Structure 1
């Protein structure tokens, strides 16, 4: 195996959204190294961290009909019944909400929790509380999507956190996405909420670690033992 192949296999690619930040950090590092080895090495560490933050590894998504996968890497921070954001016009009664909290060391590329058409995208400006707080769902800057599926609409809301100041969307209303496909990114620590239709069978618990596009968090179908395909993306 060649050195280049080994590097490609063990070091995940960086998402293009990270290129400007990595370039800025690299320039600062070079400038500091010319005047101070100590501060230059600190800047080098920051540059490496920036590259890791924007990493975008491939994921293997189970494709069986009815499965809901995690939209984000992180910890299942809360499972509760809650009203979806008003701007989504998703439901006027509480729905099952699964929240995934991402710290600054997690992969921050977000992936579709289900296969379906993006029926609505609604952005709302807000403040920047710690994304792990329950009130962050109401007060923080956020970007919500509704996925239309054969089992009913599924809401997915990106929430900016205390450090995060930018929610990036890769998709538009009307697009068809498969479960596990990339739909957005949040910079520097944040949270993603998934709102599920009534009767959904939950398969995770609070405190569990989740991997975007791979960890199955719920199942719309009550039938078991069905064949499951996988997609690498």
Structure 2
């Protein structure tokens, strides 16, 4: 899988260079107001594609936040789309001012990547989950606990970038893609996951611990004896 080590996401450079070139042309033509507008646009596009370094949470089994934004869902549901199991679900909404680079929540192996075309409803609405374009990664941790992370396009997001491929071994906090403009990321976790965030919390990709996923033996030992 490609790695991004620069302070800007690689996918942003064509947009930044195009805006900068257009601004330069306008300035050379003496069109001051359009040139200033182009300069502002170039600054915003550069800001949008920023890719800052983050410090990973230190606790063992930490579920690393996959996206910057606000938590809009924390729930327990029956998932028949990705894991075919009852799961804990966390949804994070990203507005246009958030960092849009997405990161791997838990170390493991990518089992499947599914890109599904769809519509572009507002990403913070429930129907976005069912109808919007999305890219779903199903992964398995080293002790065979399966989870899924789903990038969902939003109202004005028209491009999901996912660099992960089936068979990739990925590390918690590793960059794997991004979504352009407002969008959302859903995380589907085993029921043994201990969630530490709530609806309304502001979180940061690669830095916030959404909770902890105990190793399978630990999770089993916490189950009550019948």
TM-score (norm 1): 0.85
Corresponding residue for 1:30?
24
Corresponding residue for 1:187?
180
| Preserved CA contact (<8 Å) 1:147 1:153 | yes
TM superposition shift of 1:65: 3.3
Cα separation, 1, equivalents of 2:22 and 2:80 = 40
SS in 1 for 2:40: helix
Corresponding residue for 1:45?
40
Corresponding residue for 1:205?
198
- 1:10-61, CA deviations, whole angstroms, 9 ceiling, x for partnerless residues? xx82111111000111122122222421121111101001011111111111
Per the alignment, do residues 35 and 82 of structure 1 end up closer, same or farther by CA in structure 2, a change over 3 Å counting? farther
Per the alignment, do residues 177 and 29 of structure 1 end up closer, same or farther by CA in structure 2, a change over 3 Å counting? same
- 1:73-121, CA deviations, whole angstroms, 9 ceiling, x for partnerless residues? 11112212334462x3x11x44211011111111111000111001111
Structure 2 unaligned residues grouped into runs of 5+: 1-5, 219-226
| Preserved CA contact (<8 Å) 2:86 2:191 | no
Corresponding residue for 2:221?
none
- 1:111-154, CA deviations, whole angstroms, 9 ceiling, x for partnerless residues? 00111001111111100000011111111000000110126111
Corresponding residue for 1:55?
50
Structure 1 unaligned residues grouped into runs of 5+: 1-11, 224-233
RMSD: 1.7
| Preserved CA contact (<8 Å) 1:85 1:138 | no
Corresponding residue for 1:230?
none
Q: How many residues align?
A: 209
| Structure 1 segments of 4+ aligned residues over 6 angstroms from their partners | none
